[in-house]
Amino acid sequence: MNFMQNALDLAKIALDIGEVPVACVIVKDGQIIGEGHNLTTLMKNATMHCEFIAVKDAKSRNPEISFQDAILYVTCEPCIMCAEFLSLICIKKVYFGCYNQKFGGNGSILNLHEGKYESIGGIYQEEAVNLLRIFYEKGNPNAPPHKRHRVLGK
Amino acid sequence: MNFMQNALDLAKIALDIGEVPVACVIVKDGQIIGEGHNLTTLMKNATMHCEFIAVKDAKSRNPEISFQDAILYVTCEPCIMCAEFLSLICIKKVYFGCYNQKFGGNGSILNLHEGKYESIGGIYQEEAVNLLRIFYEKGNPNAPPHKRHRVLGK
């Protein structure tokens, strides 16, 4: 089963509702145990990243859940905050789509995963970055004017 | 008004209920707009740091709140995750008590505040670290055995 495709499908839903199209699923024993897409725009909260939402989702399904054997599939490299968050919950492994050249904590800006969890980037990165391109080319109506249109790199 | 004393009072409440004694208040226009102490132990959730709880508290009091003119008083240096979180919410200034030599993101391990917000450490640090010492000397009953007793540095 291709879990990055599940994450991309969630990111497309985010795009459809005017949300930053970044999403993830958390997988354990071959099953999705938590999922989420960004809610930064709709909640007007810069910290509502999909990683926090998916972990909260997993905990709401099973409060005793442990993430030590869990794998995260996320369409964009976790930011510095989320990279450290993933370390704190002791995630086992992260697969991510496109790189996050501005805030990435899994290699692009900092290497917060090193010695903590395995991280592999560039999975379906073209699909992932294309969703972000569509979002930012249209312009984020909820962002401040100078942030409405972003030019995306690699 | 001494807001670090308010944060220390909250940290003492945390200690009394068996929680990691780290707490904070967020101040705007001379008023406390949000507050919280760690809930990592009671919630069995390594990420329930007081900064997230206080911001959530502020947002529950006023969903439209902006933190650009807000000052955080926290008894211990924000960890890497929280340091980046504070940058994302555009906090203006952080005063912290004791240094966090293991996870600190405001100077001890990383300088995530640089260019983002002002950060001044060492305010009432002796009181702040003493609370942590009492907690860890007693031993954290909810921590894994190897983490139950911690030796605290500066």
Q: Are B101 and B135 in contact (CB under 8 A)?
A: no
Determine contact: A42 vs chain B, CB below 8 A: no
| Preferred mutation among A38, A81, A117 to probe B, highest tally of B CBs within 10 A | A81
Determine contact: B79 vs chain A, CB below 8 A: yes
Q: Note whether B112 contacts A80, CB cutoff 8 Å.
A: yes
The string of pLDDT tens digits covering residues B75-97 is 999 999 999 999 999 999 999 99
B136 has pLDDT over 50? yes
Q: Note whether B46 contacts A88, CB cutoff 8 Å.
A: yes
A49 phi/psi in degrees, rounded to 5: -85, 150
Determine contact: B84 vs chain A, CB below 8 A: yes
Q: Which residue of B has its CA nearest to A88?
A: B46
Q: Per-10-residue mean pLDDT for chain A, 154 residues long?
A: 93 96 98 97 91 96 96 98 97 98 96 98 97 88 59 49
B84 phi/psi in degrees, rounded to 5: -75, -35
Contacts of B89 in chain A (CB under 8 A): 46-47
Q: What is this model's ipTM?
A: 0.86
What pLDDT is attached to residue B46?
Answer: 86
What pLDDT is attached to residue B76?
Answer: 98
Q: Are A37 and A53 in contact (CB under 8 A)?
A: yes
Report how far apart, in Å, the C-alpha atoms of A143 and of each of A18, B8, B59, B90 are. 12, 37, 19, 14
Q: Which residue of A has its CA nearest to B82?
A: A81
Helix (H) or strand (E) holding A27: strand A23-28
What pLDDT is attached to residue A154?
Answer: 41
Which segments of B77-149 are extended strands (E)?
93-98, 118-120
What pLDDT is attached to residue B138?
Answer: 82
Catalytic annotation, pick one of A19, A51, A126, A127: A51
Is residue B51 flagged as an active site residue? yes
B18 has pLDDT over 50? yes
What CATH number labels B2-147? 3.40.140.10
What pLDDT is attached to residue B141?
Answer: 62
Query: Which band of pLDDT confidence, cut at 50, 70 and 90, is reported for residue B119?
Result: very high
Q: Which residue of A has its CA nearest to B64?
A: A44
HSE-CB at A108 with a 13 A cutoff on CA atoms is 21
Q: What is the mean pLDDT of residues B101-125?
A: 97
pTM of the full predicted structure? Answer: 0.89
What pLDDT is attached to residue A140?
Answer: 65
